[in-house]
Each structure stands twice: as C-alpha cells, then as structure tokens.
Amino acid sequence: MNKISIAPSILSADFGILKEEIRAVETAGADLIHVDVMDGHFVPSITIGPLVVKGARKATKLPLDVHLMISEPEKYIDDFAKAGSDIITFHIESCNDPKAIIAKIKSFGLKAGASIKPRTDIKALDGILGDLDMVLVMTVEPGFAGQSFIKEALPKIRNLRKIYKKDIEVDGGINKDTSKLAIEAGANILVAGTSVFGADDYKKAIDDLRIGG
C-alpha cells in the first residue's frame, strides 16, 4: 500500500465559488473530493446535503468521498447515492445495523466506508471489516474544520493496518507534519481541509501532504 491519495475537504473551500475551488484542487493533483455532511445532531454543526453533492458532481470527474456525520444515516443513503457520491462513509457510532447500511450503499454500486471517532476502539468494526471498502479513522472530534490532530489515534491506525489491507483514510488536523505520522502508521488516504484550502498554493499544499511518508 504505497500510493498516498489526497482528499481535500470542501468544508474549507469558498462556497461562493465552489465549482472553481473543486476544479482548482483537481488541477493541483487531488485524488478525491471529500464532502463533510453534518446534521446538527450527531455533531453540533450543520453543513451540506445532497444538493451540494449534486453540484460538486457536475464540477469534477474525481470520486466524491462523502463523509456522513449524521444520525440515522440509513435514511439518507438513497439521496446521497443518487446525488452522485462514489464513496459513502457512515459513523459506526450512529447506527444500529451497519451491515444493512453497507449493503444499501453497495446496492448502488458505490464503495462503502465506516468511520470511527478518535475515542472509538477499532473493535467497534468487528464483524464488518470484511464488508467495507474503506475505514475512516478520525483524528479530530468530528464537527469542525481547523482542529488539532489527536496523536492518540495513531496506535489505532497502526493496529488496524495489521489486520486490514484495504483503504485507511484519516481525517482531521492533517498538515505536512501530521501527514507523515498518519502515513507511517499505515493510512493511505489523507483528508485535508484547512491545510489545502487555506494555502495560497494548492498544488504545493497537496504535494507536501503526499510526500509526508
């Protein structure tokens, strides 16, 4: 697993010119576009919904990596799938029947991911790892961009990598220093909001993250 993919999070983009922002990170070498969906219930903030995913879909051919930080994710898989998602990731803490959600995501021909918050043990994924295409390990408490990387999540990534050969994504506080730590621990997809969209030069910011390992 040596290719490192970079997924800029549009949460930190300028929404007034979202299409241009997405195209700019695509040109700068992004591999995926990360979309942070928050409902004001599972997390305190409210961000975006399927309509924005639909708009993003028209702006790029890159895969749309949709991160659902919402309660009752099973109710919304249809909407996000039809809006043009390529990967849909739900939080293991917010659902009772993860196998049913994974099956639903896959019924649309999409990749299914499950995410764990910084304090959730990887044991929470027991029984579903084999069904998943990706695990997203949060390195901040979900809810806001611009927080500091929680280093205590690194041993979880390391332990997960020993037993899981598919994609491991990290999300939260990723910059050119913390990207190294995440890659060394075994992550291969890095989400980055502030460190990409807050930079003057998106290409340099993305390149700096990718060579972290």
Q: How far is the CB of 107 from ligand DX5 (least distance, A)?
A: 25
| 182 is an interface residue for ligand DX5 by CB under 6 A | no
The stretch among 58-66, 92-100, 121-129, 186-194 that binds ligand DX5 (CB under 6 A) is 186-194
Helices (H), 28-94: 50-59, 77-82
| 167 is an interface residue for Zn ion by CB under 5 A | no
Span 71-130, contacts to Zn ion by CB under 5 A? none
In angstroms, the CA 45 to CA 48 distance is: 10
Q: How buried is 169 (Cβ within 10 angstroms: 0-12 exposed, 13-18 middle, 19+ buried)? A: buried
Q: Are 113 and 136 in contact (CB under 8 A)?
A: yes
Binds ligand DX5 (CB under 6 A): choice among 113, 142, 186, 212: 142
| 127 is an interface residue for ligand DX5 by CB under 6 A | no
Q: Are 106 and 84 in contact (CB under 8 A)?
A: no
Q: Are 34 and 67 in contact (CB under 8 A)?
A: yes
Chain positions contacting ligand DX5, by CB under 6 A: 9, 11-12, 34, 36, 67, 140, 142-143, 145-147, 171-174, 191-195
Chain positions contacting Zn ion, by CB under 5 A: 36, 67, 171
